């Protein structure tokens, strides 16, 4: 259910683009994201920081796209989002010596500290990569190509998360007392 909820706004965005144009697609994306976050709020009674950042950037860049009738704003939103996440994770790791992933997921996963640090570094690299590849596509390709990249580009996070799951599985230990 949650995975479907995560993909729904992008599928609606792409569908509206194919049926209408980038501006209708942007309005649909904004509305779908508001609804999506409402459902997340109803389920969890909170929005995580990434949800808040995503919603804020979609509403900001979407509004600029619609008000200025300039598609570049919505196309640059993923670059800004991933860059912000990469900077935040990198600063947390290397400036403040904090592991954000462990702070968020540490109660759910029992992993050695070196694994948490590697995961955070991997997330920094992933965010930099995703920011750069979106910028590359925005700068060098048409809006039509960018839309297909947005839709099929979801293979990147799926592969990254699968790889991360395999890596975690090698180091994960069952919490004490949970074995029969």
- pTM of the entire structure? 0.87
The per-residue pLDDT for 174 is: 64
pLDDT band at 154 (very low <50, low <70, confident <90, very high): confident
The 10s digit of each residue's pLDDT in 11-51 is: 999 999 999 999 999 999 999 999 999 999 999 999 988 89
Give percent of the chain with pLDDT exceeding 90: 82
The per-residue pLDDT for 177 is: 53
Which residues in 128-166 are b (16+ Cβ under 10 Å) and which e? bebbebbbebbeeeebeebbebbbebeeeeeebeeebee
The per-residue pLDDT for 176 is: 56
Mean pLDDT of 103-121: 92
Residue ranges per domain, the chain?
Answer: 1-70, 71-180
The 10s digit of each residue's pLDDT in 136-151 is: 999 999 999 999 999 8
The per-residue pLDDT for 55 is: 96
Mean pLDDT of 80-99: 96
């Amino acid at each position: 259910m949650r995975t479907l909820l995560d993909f729904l706004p992008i599928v609606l965005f792409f569908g509206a683009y194919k049926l209408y144009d980038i501006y209708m697609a942007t309005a649909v994306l904004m509305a779908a994201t508001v609804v999506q976050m409402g459902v997340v709020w109803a389920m969890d009674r909170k929005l995580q920081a990434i949800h808040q950042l995503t919603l804020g950037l979609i509403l900001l860049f979407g509004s600029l796209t619609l008000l200025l009738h300039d598609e570049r704003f919505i196309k640059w939103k993923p670059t800004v989002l991933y860059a912000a996440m990469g900077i935040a994770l990198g600063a947390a790791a290397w400036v403040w010596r904090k592991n954000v992933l462990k702070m968020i997921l540490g109660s759910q996963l029992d992993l050695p500290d070196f694994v948490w640090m590697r995961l955070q570094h991997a997330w920094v690299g992933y965010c930099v990569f995703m920011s750069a590849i979106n910028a590359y596509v925005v700068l060098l390709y048409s809006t039509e190509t960018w839309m297909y990249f947005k839709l099929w580009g979801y293979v990147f996070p799926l592969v990254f998360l699968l790889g991360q799951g395999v890596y975690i599985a090698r180091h994960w230990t069952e919490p004490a007392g949970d074995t029969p």
